[in-house]
Amino acid sequence: MNFNKHDSYCIGNVIRIIDERTIIVNVGKDTLQTGAEIQVYELVDTLKNLDGTLLDTYMYIKASLEVVQTAEKYSICRNMETRQKTFPLALSPLLERTIEEYVPLNIDKNDIQPLIPKDPLIRVGDPIKFA
Residues whose CB is less than 8 angstroms from the CB of residue 39 and which lie 6 or more positions away in sequence, other chains included: 61, 62, 63, 64, 65, 128, 129, 130, 131
Alpha carbons 41 and 58: distance in angstroms, whole number = 10
- Would the pLDDT of 1 be above 50? no
| Prediction pTM value | 0.83
Between 83 and 119, name the one with better pLDDT: 119
Give mean pLDDT, residues 103-131: 96
Q: What is the mean pLDDT of the chain?
A: 90
Between 83 and 81, name the one with better pLDDT: 81
* % of residues, the chain, pLDDT over 90: 79
- Would the pLDDT of 100 be above 60? yes
Alpha carbons 128 and 17: distance in angstroms, whole number = 13
